[in-house]
Amino acid sequence: MTTREEGLAPPPGGGAGARSYMRNGEPPLEVDIGFVHETVEEEDDRSLLEDLQALYENGKTYVSAELTFQKTRASFAGEKLKSVAIMGAGAALLGLLALIGLTVGAILSLATLIGPLGATLVVVGILLIVAFLCARAAGKKWADLMSAFTAEERARP
């Protein structure tokens, strides 16, 4: 064989398609990357009991990880819910104060036209009418809600 043919010859112990790229007649570096190949005999030695034990251990690991995730998620949601509740309560309080200011302003504005007692009666009367209309609409919505539940119960066998 010529030097060129030797450079293309497969390395000792290599596959049929393996090529050895030799430089200056030196053999190529061989690197052991540590792969372990199981034989068919080792795979056949596993029993159903070992597979079930492995499945049980994997299940325990999954449940543990899922519980940890859900605890963390609940903690996060609890913190966010707390801040939402605080901000919502603040918004409701400020809205109520704004409505009180509007009511007082309406009474003071009307007081110059019809007097303080007349202005108070007009503003309170309007507020009571609006409150009555809101309560009546809420009552209708509540009745619709209750009829949906009772109709659902009647539809069940």
pLDDT digits (tens, 9 = 90+) for 77-115: 999 999 999 999 999 999 999 999 999 999 999 999 999
**Model-level pTM greater than 0.75?**
no
- Cβ atoms of 102 and 119 within 8 Å: the answer is no
Please give the mean pLDDT across all residues of the chain. Answer: 80
DSSP structural state of residue 33: -
Judge contact between 12 and 30, C-beta under 8 A.
no
What is the Cα–Cα distance from 74 to 76, expressed in whole angstroms?
5
Q: What is the mean pLDDT of each run of 10 residues along the chain (157 residues)?
A: 52 50 56 53 71 92 94 92 94 95 94 92 94 95 87 62
